[in-house]
Amino acid sequence: MAGGAGAHGRDERSLPIEAPADGGATLEPGGGAPNRLLTVAQLLQLAVYWYGLVSVMNGVTILIQERMPSLVPVSEVGLMTGLAQVAGVAIAVAVQPTIGSISDYTISRWGRRKPYIILGTSFDIIFVVGIATSGTLLALAAFLALLQLSSNFAQGPFQGYLPDLVPPSQVGFASALVGVMQILGTVGGILTITVGRQLAGSYLFPTIALGLVEFLTMVVLVFRLDEGRQAKPRGDRPWRAIAAEAWGTDILADRSFVFLVASRFFIMGGTAFLLALAVRYFERSQSLDLEERTLWINLMTVAVALTTVAATLPSARISDRVGRKPVIYAACATGAVGMAIIAIAPTPLLSLPGAILVGAGAGTFLAVDWALITDLVPKASAGRYMGISNVATATNGLVAGIVGGIFVDVCYGLGDPGAGPRAAYLFSIFVFGIGALLLRRVVEPVERAA
């Protein structure tokens, strides 16, 4: 990664994003915010890779839940579903900030982010196939760990693009597009696995399709993209010192950032309970067979997605005017009410209003959360800070799965299997509350572009 483009970390032969018609200024290579306005097409180009990343991980989440009963005793399904992902999530936590920090200093003919994105995405295709064909719990856990390694190898550097390239006046809109792509990726991943299994008769071909879609979104991202900002000077420091910098304690001095990451973990965790236990909820709490729960999981996913997308752009615009935190508080309240409705719904149909509220809360949070993080992080170290912030994303689903799995298994042992998912969904309300309390300690930047 160390050779190629010289001092500015870019290849002059690369095809740059064309300057907008309004004559926006070029990006600044130093530590300040970028000041060149991007077109909507360029902002979509920066956001589309989120679709591929999220579709793979959410499709795999459903795949694991469906396959686990054939790999472990039924009384251990809930807990083992979470534990199978522990090693992978630990890898994600270690890899994403480390590689993100290394990319801040990387000089190559492709730029400082692209090499990692291309390599990580290519290996994702191999590892998702391994997950689909695993015949034992150990093999499944091993391929999950490898998938987390390759996915986060790409994701850490990729997350630096938003602070790298988006000027303050477009952060709210760009963050809304990120939220939209994440939700569309969730829908696409779940539908690919569930509908694909019905059409193909197995999970192999739909899982391969997930990997190919991620690869295509990666191509869209990197094609004609000029990364803009030059690499940070490494001096004489070895790469191991650069890698260790990601975990330097200096980041603890930025208390707003630290509390925002903690708040993000709990708020996203509250929503994560829904997907982490979706199969068990419709199977045990609503007493549906495989075909019925496939239908209702898809219906719930679409309901969540539609309201999420509808809420995303207006939420980002409102946060530009009234501030990010008030909008996030509203998102927490909306999500908590939605989870309560799902928890007590006596029929699948009556759970849909709750799913709609969860979707509205998730869309509101995703758009505004990304904008607030981008407001706070130092731009020259975007890979490091965005990687650290995504530790919350990498771990909240695992914790929700393990905690929810304990509820599921305990209630199964007590002779009331249907109570487990409902109790876990009610517990998520408490999780939302913790996230909202932690957000109070975050201080928003005084100046924010309208």
Phi then psi for 37, rounded to 5 degrees?
-70, 140
How many angstroms separate the Cα of 149 from the Cα of each of 90, 95, 237? Answer: 9, 7, 25
Tell me the angle at which helices 324-344 and 290-322 cross, rounded to the nearest 10 degrees: 160
Letter string b/e over residues 372-408, b meaning 16 or more CB atoms within 10 A of that residue's CB: bbbbbbebbbbbbbbbbbbbbbbbbbbbbbbbbbbbb
Tell me the angle at which helices 391-413 and 419-439 cross, rounded to the nearest 10 degrees: 150
Q: Residue 338's pLDDT band (boundaries 50, 70, 90)?
A: very high
What is the pLDDT, as a whole number, of residue 228? 63
CA–CA separation, 218 vs 39, rounded Å?
19
Sign of CA dihedral 169, 372, 443, 332: positive
Beta carbons of 193 and 209 less than 8 angstroms apart: no
Tokens for 106, please give them: 């990387």
| Size of the chain in residues | 450
Alpha-carbon torsion, ordered 346, 350, 356, 357, to 10 deg: -60
Tokens for 205, please give them: 């071909």
What are the sequence ranges of the domains in the chain?
37-231+252-439
CATH topology for 37-231+252-439 is Growth Hormone; Chain: A; (1.20.1250)
Amino acid at position 346, single letter: P
Q: Tell the burial category of 150 from Cβ atoms under 10 Å away from its Cβ (0-12, 13-18, 19+).
A: buried
| pLDDT tens for each residue of 84-126 | 777 777 888 888 889 988 888 888 888 888 999 999 999 998 9
Beta carbons of 262 and 386 less than 8 angstroms apart: no
What is the pLDDT, as a whole number, of residue 439? 95
Beta carbons of 79 and 359 less than 8 angstroms apart: no
Helix (H) or strand (E) segment spanning residue 378: none
Q: Residue 345's pLDDT band (boundaries 50, 70, 90)?
A: very high
| pLDDT tens for each residue of 379-431 | 767 778 887 887 777 778 778 888 888 898 899 889 998 999 999 999 999 99
Number of CB atoms found within 10 A of residue 248's CB: 10
What is the pLDDT, as a whole number, of residue 32? 59
Tokens for 428, please give them: 């998520």
Q: Residue 445's pLDDT band (boundaries 50, 70, 90)?
A: confident
User: Tokens 């993209």 identify what position?
Assistant: 225
Sign of CA dihedral 411, 417, 422, 425: positive
Tokens for 150, please give them: 């390759």
| pLDDT tens for each residue of 128-162 | 888 888 888 888 888 888 998 999 899 888 988 88
Name every residue whose Cβ is closer than 8 Å to that of residue 19 and which is 6 or more positions away in sequence: 26, 36
The stretch 276-298 carries a mean pLDDT of 88
pLDDT at 343 over 60: yes
pLDDT at 256 over 60: yes
Number of CB atoms found within 10 A of residue 291's CB: 8
User: Tokens 């219906």 identify what position?
Assistant: 299
The stretch 11-31 carries a mean pLDDT of 38
Q: Residue 449's pLDDT band (boundaries 50, 70, 90)?
A: very low
| pLDDT tens for each residue of 152-161 | 899 888 988 8
Written as one string, the DSSP assignment of 215-272 is HHHHHHHHTT----SPPPP-TT--HHHHHHHTT-GGGGG-HHHHHHHHHHHHHHHHHH
Beta carbons of 215 and 52 less than 8 angstroms apart: yes
| pLDDT tens for each residue of 346-377 | 999 999 999 999 988 988 887 788 788 888 88
Calculate the average pLDDT of the chain.
Answer: 82
The answer for 6, left when phi > 0, alpha when psi is -120 to 50, beta otherwise, is left
* Closest residue by Cα to residue 378 from 394, 368, 389: 389
Chain CA centroid to CA 428, Å: 19
Q: Residue 33's pLDDT band (boundaries 50, 70, 90)?
A: low
